[in-house]
Amino acid sequence: LPLLIHYHGGGFCLGSALDMPFKRFLTSLVVKANIVAITIDYRLAPEHHLPIAHEDSWAGLEWVASHSYGQGPEPLLNRHADFGRVFLAGESAGANIAHYVAVQLDEMYAYMCPTSAGFEEDPILNPALDPNLKMMRSDRVLVCVAEKDGLRNRGVYYYETLKKSEWHGKAEFYQTLGEDHCFHMFNPKSKNVGPFLQKLVNFIKSTK
């Protein structure tokens, strides 16, 4: 089965892989897309300043990758995960982490990581400054934003950065109208969750 590796959102300082909104959404996605999903926890700020969250997330990805030859510690992954079809996913801060691990905001970030130069100058947070962007080991990226999300423009910026970069994959863009930040997690009864979920399912199933 295709394998989805998920990183939760929460501004690097809130949330957990075990939080109900994430579990509920991932369960729906697993059922509809017929996939295996792993959600990775990481240490949070301010107790643990960035880039510890990114380092933990990378370590989690390495743990998952240890199963790629059927020799890992988790039998389910050894038996059922197709490591030729791997998807990295996340919302909000989790999307930033997903990008970071694929290539090895703001006052909130300055509070959590006082040594950082901030979004505009930090290649961990600003993909346009990342010299390794062109080497990202992915054929396709789906960037999803919500119309009323205060961070919507960051998602658009990321999409445009991918399109203009030397990365040789294909970037796709999807916008949900009338919704706010992480609506699919916090407002699961919204009529827009179904179409959004179906977009993810179609994206996964169209990847060979």
In angstroms, rounded to a whole number, what is the distance separating the alpha carbons of residues 154 and 11?
14
- Decide if 181 is catalytic: yes
Residue 47: which residues within 8 A CB-CB, separation 6 or more? none
Residue 173: which residues within 8 A CB-CB, separation 6 or more? 142, 143, 145, 156, 159
For 60, other C-beta atoms within 10 Å of its C-beta total 20
- Catalytic residue from among 8, 57, 67, 92: 92
5: tokens are: 């590796």
Q: Is 45 helix (H, G, I), strand (E, B) or coil?
A: coil
- Decide if 168 is catalytic: no
117: tokens are: 């130069």
- Catalytic residue from among 6, 99, 130, 149: 149
Residue 197 identity (one-letter amino acid): L
- Evaluate whether 5 touches 97 at the Cβ level (below 8 Å): no
Residue 14: which residues within 8 A CB-CB, separation 6 or more? 44
- Catalytic residue from among 19, 28, 181, 190: 181
- Decide if 149 is catalytic: yes
In angstroms, rounded to a whole number, what is the distance separating the alpha carbons of residues 119 and 169?
24
Residues serving a catalytic function are 92, 149, 181
